[in-house]
Homo-oligomer: A and B are copies of this chain.
Amino acid sequence: MVYHLQRTAINRDDVVLGIGDDCALLSPPEGKVLAVSTDTLISGVHFPESTSAQDIGYKSLAVNLSDLAAMGAEPAWVSLAISLPEPDESWLYQFMLGFNQLVEQYNICLTGGDTTQGSLSVTINITGFVNAQKALRRSNAKTGDYIYVTGDIGDAGLGLKAILNNLPEAHDLSYCINRLNRPVPQIMAGKILSQFAVAAIDISDGLLADLNHICQASRVGAVLNVEQLPVSDTLLAYYKQKPDWLNVITAGDDYELCFTCSKIQSVEVEALMQQHEIKLTRIGEIVETKGVKCMLNGKLVDAGFKGYEHF
C-alpha cells in the first residue's frame, strides 16, 4: 500500500532532497541543536474511535509540535508513518487536510512518509531547532521558582468524558471537545520561555503527573494551589462553578505548557506573555521537599489517584 501523501507547497532551503529517494537530505542550521521527538497515536487509545480523519491529522502533528514547544524549539521537519486497515484515499485526503493546516502555519517540511496496511495508527517524528543552552529542560527547576501554566486546563478531559459517556450536555461542551481534538501547540510560549532557559513540560498526561516529571528531573518538590488553576467558563458552567479539581489536575491532552521560573525572571516572563496575548496563571511554587503537594483553600488535599473521596 503506497499512497501519495498530499503535500503542501512548503519549501525550505534546509531541505536539500525531499521525499522520493532512500533518505531525505537535510541541512542542519549552524550553532543550534536539533530537538527531536517521536509520538505514536493509536485509535481508541490516544483519540476516540469516532474522531474524524481531519481531526486525527491535525492532532497527530499538534501533539508532536507540543513537544517542541516544551523545549522552546522552532519547528522545521516532520516525517509521518500511517497505518490504515484498508486503502482509503478519501480518509487520507481528509487526514492530510488537518495535518497540513499546521504544516502551513509553522512552515514545516514533510521530509518522509510511509503508509502501511494495519490497524489505525500514526507515528510522527518531528525535528526543531533550539540553542543548546536555551532549551527548556525539565531539570531546570529550582527551589523558590514560581510555577505557571498557559491557557486553561481540564477542558480536553471534559471533552473526552462528553464523548465517551455520550453526555446529554455534549452539545454545550463542544468547546471542550474541540479543545480535545484541536489542541493548540504552545510554540510561541515556548519561544518566549527559551529566552530564560526555565524548566518546562507540555501537559499531556495531566498537570499533576507532568509537574511531577519536572520535580523528579529537577530533584525538587512543588506546592500547587489548586483553586488558582485556570479553567474555562465552559468547564465552570458544567461543574456549576464548583470544578471537580481532581479531574482537572489529572486529565491529560490539554497540551498547555507548565513551567517554572525564578521570582526575578517572573516579572519579565509575565510581561512578555501578556504582550503576546498568551494567558498565563501562576499556580504554585517549587519547594525543596520532594513530591507535589496540592493545597485547596489553604488546606492540604490528597491528590493520590486513590484519593478521589478526599477532594
The verdict on A25 contacting chain B, using a C-beta distance below 8 Å, is yes
A207 to chain B, nearest CB (A): 15
User: Residue A21 at the B interface, CB < 8 A?
Assistant: yes
**Cβ–Cβ contact A67 & B34, under 8 A:** no
Query: Roughly how many angstroms separate A70 CA and B22 CA in the complex, as a whole number?
Result: 6
Q: What residues on B are CB-neighbors of A201 within 8 Å?
A: 22
In the assembled complex, A128 has its CB within 8 A of some CB on chain B: yes
Query: Is A113 interfacial (CB-CB < 8 Å)?
Result: yes
A135-B17, A137-B17 known; A35+B25 contact, CB < 8 A: yes
A39 at the interface (CB under 8 A from B): yes
Contact between chains at B132 and A27 (CB < 8 Å) = yes
A135 surroundings in chain B (CB, below 8 A): 17, 23, 25
Complex interface bits, A73-87 against B, C-beta within 8 A gives 1, otherwise 0:
100010111010000
Query: In whole angstroms, how far apart are the Cα atoms of A56 and B113 in the complex?
Result: 21
Given contacts A17-B135, A30-B30, A37-B112, contact A83 B121 (CB under 8 A): yes
Which chain A residues in 148-192 approach chain B with CB under 8 Å?
none
Complex alpha-carbon distance, A40 and B121, angstroms: 11
User: Taking CB as reference atom, which chain B residue is nearest A69?
Assistant: B22
The answer, among B23, B28, B137, B202, for a CB contact under 8 Å with A71, is: B23
B residues less than 8 Å from A128 (CB atoms): 23
How many residues belonging to A are interface residues under a CB distance threshold of 8 Å?
A: 56
A51 at the interface (CB under 8 A from B): no
In the bound assembly, the distance between CA atoms of A128 and B179 in angstroms comes to: 38
CB closest residue in chain B, given A210 = B22
Instruction: Give the dominant DSSP class at A's interface.
Output: strand
For the complex, is A119 an interface residue (Cβ under 8 Å from B)? yes
Instruction: Report chain B residues within 8 Å CB of A117.
Output: 42, 45
A304 at the interface (CB under 8 A from B): no
Nearest CB in chain B: distance from A108 CB, A: 14
CB-CB under 8 A from A118, the residues of chain B are 40, 42, 45, 119, 121
A79 and B25 contact, CB distance less than 8 A: no
A10: interface (CB < 8 Å): no
Most buried by B among A21, A28, A45: A21
Is A111 close to B, CB under 8 A? yes
Query: Which residues of the partner chain B approach A68 to less than 8 Å between Cβ atoms?
Result: 22-23
A23 to chain B: which residues have CB within 8 Å? 35-37, 67-68, 70-71, 73, 128, 135
9 smallest beta-carbon distances between A and B, as pairs: A28-B28, A22-B70, A23-B35, A125-B125, A123-B123, A42-B118, A38-B79, A119-B119, A38-B112
Told that A22-B201, A40-B81, A118-B119 touch, could you supply 5 new A-B pairs with CB distance under 8 A?
A: A25-B132, A28-B34, A38-B80, A39-B114, A119-B119
